[in-house]
Amino acid sequence: MKVTAFDPTGLDVVSVGLFSTGYVSTSSNAYSAAVSSNALAVGGVTISGAAASNYHMLASSPTAAAWVPDSAAAAATVAAIVFVIDGGGSAITTGIKGDLRIPFACTVDSWTLLADQSGAIVVDIWKDTYANYPPTDADAMPGSGKEPTIAASGTKAEDSTITDWTTDDITAGDTLRFNVDSCTTITRATLALKVTRT
């Protein structure tokens, strides 16, 4: 069985053979593994030298020609898209506040909205392809009434159940536009989208 070392940040092949740390793959979906002391045994091949906790298993995907991280490695696929809206010391006005182009494909899992002081704000997120830039209200991701919102006299809000959004998928290269639908008192707000890279 061939043992291959991968760069954990991009799953690029680094070397073939024994290595001190990284990711371990097998040549099929079926494998057995055991960890003992500072050695990792995979399908009869033992790798030693570094703490066994440094190793993660990769199983080949039955639906794609790619290696898929196990749950221990999957945490590396979580990212955040952060957008700050600053009123320059005054209450934030309504309207378009800026755009971001997202360089990777991902799914939005949740959002968090933080304010510098108590008040209320509603922020809509519009998404479209780079070819169709700029996004418009017709391209809203959340859908009416589901926009990230801090209710009256609040300073923060979050939602981890956004399966009711019109769309939560972002394709690599898509552009996001952030629009303030309404705001009172708040002079700076930070919107963070927690995403899983796909």
Domain boundary (34, 69, 104) is at 69
Which of 52, 69, 86 delimits the end of a domain? 69
Highest mean pLDDT among 4-8, 57-61, 70-74, 166-170: 166-170
Whether residues 81 and 176 fall in one domain = yes
The Cα–Cα gap between 156 and 142 comes to 18
Structure tokens, 7: 């760069």
Residue among 19, 18, 22 nearest 7 (CA): 22
The answer to whether residues 62 and 115 belong to one domain is: no
Question: Within this chain, do residues 52 and 135 fall inside the same structural domain, yes or no?
Answer: no
> Which residue segment(s) compose the domain that 173 sits in?
77-197
Residues 161, 112: one domain? Answer: yes
**How many angstroms separate the CA atoms of 165 and 131, rounded?**
23
Q: How confident is the model over 39-88, as pLDDT tens digits? A: 545 555 555 554 444 444 444 444 444 444 455 455 569 999 999 999 99
With a pLDDT cut of 90, the percent of the chain lying above it is 59
**pLDDT tens, 105-142?**
999 999 999 999 999 999 999 999 999 999 999 999 99
Residues 93, 177 within the same domain = yes
The verdict on 35 and 84 lying in the same domain is no
50 and 104 both lie in a single domain: no
Confidence of residue 161 (pLDDT cuts 50, 70, 90): confident
Asked if 143 and 178 sit in the same domain, the reply is yes
Question: What's the pLDDT score for residue 73?
Answer: 53
Q: Any idea what the CATH number is for the domain that residue 123 is in? A: 2.60.120
Q: Identify the pLDDT of residue 41.
A: 52
Do 88 and 64 belong together in one domain?
Answer: no
Q: Over the chain, what HEC string results?
A: CCCEEEECCCCEEEEECCCCCEEEECCCCCCCEEEECCEEEECCEEEECCCHHHEEEEEECCCCCCEEECHHHHHHHEEEEEEEEECCCCCCCCEEEEEEECCCCEEEEEEEEEEEEEEEEEEEEEEECCCCCCCCHHHECCCCCCCCEEEEEEEEEEECCCCCCCCCEECCCCEEEEEEEEEECCCEEEEEEEEEEC
**Same-domain pairing of 64 and 86:** no
Predicted TM-score (pTM) of the model is 0.66
Same domain, 54 and 137: no
Of 24, 48, 69, the position where a domain reaches its end is 69
Kindly tell me if the per-residue pLDDT of 197 is higher than 80: yes
Residues 153, 177 share a domain: yes
Q: For the chain, what is the domain count?
A: 2
Q: pLDDT, tens digit, for every residue of 10-23?
A: 433 333 333 333 44
